[in-house]
Amino acid sequence: MTQATTMTSNQAPDSPERGEQPSRSPLGLDSVNFLMADVRDGVGPYLSVYLAGSRDWQAGAIGMAMAASSIAAAVCQIPAGLLVDGTRWKRALVAAAGLLVGLGCLLIVAFPGFWPVLAAQAALGAASAVIPPAIAALSLGIVGRRLMPARISRNEGFNHAGSFVAAGLAGMFGQYLGTSWIFYLVCAFAVASALAVTLINPRDIDHDLARGGESTGSAGTPLGFRELLGRRTILIFLVSVALFHFGNAAMLPFAGQVLAKTHPGSDTIALSACIICAQLVMVGVAWAVGRAMHAGIGRKPVFLVALALLPVRGVLFAYIASPVGVVAIQMLDGIAAGIFGVISVIIASDLARGTGRFNLIQGLVALAVGVGGALSNVVGGYVVQGFGYPAGFLGLAAVAVVALVFFLLFMPETRDA
């Protein structure tokens, strides 16, 4: 009796059986990640093209429409995390968020007035805040903590593959059928993703593990918000994420502006090539990160690789302005962003162990991403305005060096022994 008790108490919190489900749930996760790639980001840059070219909107109004989605996403990050942590209807939440994006796209095409478009964009932003933490929670609840790195690596691979396919289809639809058809394409992906969610068996989901519990039935009362932010490692990681995106977010937009000035006519093609090539790189990087963690490499050295690439990219952008050079340099972003997409979720999962707040931490990470991105564009923009593009790139590279040193010195390894 004593021996049996000892074996039970020493058993891994999430036993291997969590990752060996003889069901279609893994296929469901693969399908959702592939199809949601185009849905969770909405119509993105295509909206400004549609409103300016097809609806004759002024630049100020377009800017407000674009900002509505970003503001709604930022405001909803923490509530979305709390919602995902607290509900057992995670499949329905993913499907509903996807359908809300599809409805918003139809609303923009059918009622292209100022206020309907703003409302639709706000809805798209709110939905985009729910989808990533909900998918990550489903992943953790299905495979368990031990197999989470491999599962997130697989998620990101399918997500980037979906982005690549969606970008190609959007380009063809916009070129041959008209810009409005891009919205119908996103709507079709949204409906398909909602159907794909039904492939996930609800009985395969451990909701205690899904919100950061040590094991089934162990989540208990979730940690309070103040206590959560009082944890030093969480704050260090959030600051690191904000600094990472502070040094990164504005680099590609600035490179596009440089191309528009120095190589007019080739800027759009070069930027499209940047996006497509980066997505292809991210697929391979997501797989490689999963293999590295499976081999026992810690989270910290993997993230340090991404941080080390940022200043290199900034310095190269400061001195290289040819279209081919920009595309080649942007491949480094494919590596860095591919690493971040996987490792940020894994570190969040590590930090959430036993807190019952995995998805809230993901919301805080997403908020840090938004803050860093905003600082990058605003501060970088004023530096460029005052001192030129080379100074702007070098300034962002300097911030990236600060991010690298800060994470190296203060962030501990989060992987279990």
What digits encode the pLDDT tens for the residues 102-125?
Answer: 999 999 999 988 899 989 989 998
Structural domain for 116, as ranges: 25-218
30 & 153 share domain = yes
360 pLDDT above the threshold of 90: no
For residue 320 the two structure tokens come to 């290289």
The residue count of the chain comes to 417
Q: So what's the pLDDT on residue 42? A: 63
**Top mean-pLDDT range of 57-61, 163-167, 244-248, 357-361:** 244-248
Return d(Cα 93, Cα 81) in angstroms, integer: 12
92-115: buried (b, 16+ CB within 10 Å) or exposed (e) per residue? ebbbbbbbbbbbbbbbbbeebeee
Where does the pLDDT of residue 213 fall: very low under 50, low under 70, confident under 90, or very high at 90 and above?
low
User: 218, 247, 263: which is the final residue of a domain?
Assistant: 218
103 & 165 share domain = yes
**The domain spanning residue 127 has which CATH number?**
1.20.1250.20
Least confident segment among 37-46, 60-69, 144-153: 37-46
Residues 6+ apart with CB under 8 A from 83: 93, 130, 359
Q: DSSP code of 18?
A: G
Q: So what's the pLDDT on residue 14? A: 43
Return d(Cα 185, Cα 414) in angstroms, integer: 40
* Burial of 378 from C-beta contacts in 10 A (0-12 / 13-18 / 19+): exposed
395 & 306 share domain = yes
**Top mean-pLDDT range of 178-182, 241-245, 282-286:** 241-245
Q: So what's the pLDDT on residue 106? A: 93
Domain count, the chain: 2
311 pLDDT above the threshold of 90: yes
pTM to 2 decimals? Answer: 0.75
264 & 199 share domain = no
For residue 71 the two structure tokens come to 């503001």
Least confident segment among 9-18, 342-351, 377-386: 9-18
For residue 151 the two structure tokens come to 């599962």
In the block, residue with structure tokens 């609806």? 55
Return d(Cα 164, Cα 281) in angstroms, integer: 11
Where does the pLDDT of residue 336 fall: very low under 50, low under 70, confident under 90, or very high at 90 and above?
very high
Amino acid at 378: V
237 & 175 share domain = no
CB–CB of 344/364 below 8 Å? no
Return d(Cα 13, Cα 10) in angstroms, integer: 9
CB–CB of 349/358 below 8 Å? yes
Mean pLDDT of 386-408: 94
Residue 3 lies in a domain: no
Q: So what's the pLDDT on residue 2? A: 40
Return d(Cα 13, Cα 15) in angstroms, integer: 6
Return d(Cα 257, Cα 219) in angstroms, integer: 49
315 & 380 share domain = yes
Mean pLDDT of 375-401: 90
Return d(Cα 84, Cα 93) in angstroms, integer: 8
Return d(Cα 102, Cα 296) in angstroms, integer: 41
**Top mean-pLDDT range of 1-5, 65-69, 89-93, 216-220:** 89-93
The share of the chain scoring above pLDDT 90, in percent, equals 33
182 pLDDT above the threshold of 70: yes
85 pLDDT above the threshold of 50: yes
Averaged pLDDT of the chain: 83
CA-based nearest residue to 126, from 102, 88, 100, 89 = 100
For residue 224 the two structure tokens come to 């309070």
Q: How many helices (H) and strands (E) does the chain have?
A: 17, 0
The share of the chain scoring above pLDDT 70, in percent, equals 87
Where does the pLDDT of residue 21 fall: very low under 50, low under 70, confident under 90, or very high at 90 and above?
very low
User: 174, 203, 218: which is the final residue of a domain?
Assistant: 218
- Cα dihedral: 157, 158, 163, 165 (round 10): 120
Least confident segment among 62-71, 209-218, 230-239, 394-403: 209-218
Residue 6 lies in a domain: no
291 & 381 share domain = yes
User: 198, 218, 238: which is the final residue of a domain?
Assistant: 218
20 pLDDT above the threshold of 50: no
219 pLDDT above the threshold of 60: no
8 pLDDT above the threshold of 70: no
185 & 315 share domain = no
Determine the Cα angle at 137 with ends 208 and 289, to 5°: 120
For residue 42 the two structure tokens come to 């909405």
Mean pLDDT of 53-75: 78
Where does the pLDDT of residue 409 fall: very low under 50, low under 70, confident under 90, or very high at 90 and above?
very high
72 & 190 share domain = yes
Mean pLDDT of 320-345: 88
Least confident segment among 87-96, 259-268, 334-343: 259-268
10 pLDDT above the threshold of 50: no
Residue 40 lies in a domain: yes
CB–CB of 137/363 below 8 Å? no
* Burial of 135 from C-beta contacts in 10 A (0-12 / 13-18 / 19+): buried
Residue 4 lies in a domain: no
CA-based nearest residue to 165, from 197, 147, 148, 188 = 188
112 & 210 share domain = yes
Return d(Cα 319, Cα 349) in angstroms, integer: 39
Residue 247 lies in a domain: yes
Residue 322 lies in a domain: yes
Mean pLDDT of 375-387: 86
Amino acid at 197: V
279 & 340 share domain = yes
Least confident segment among 136-140, 342-346, 413-417: 413-417
365 & 248 share domain = yes
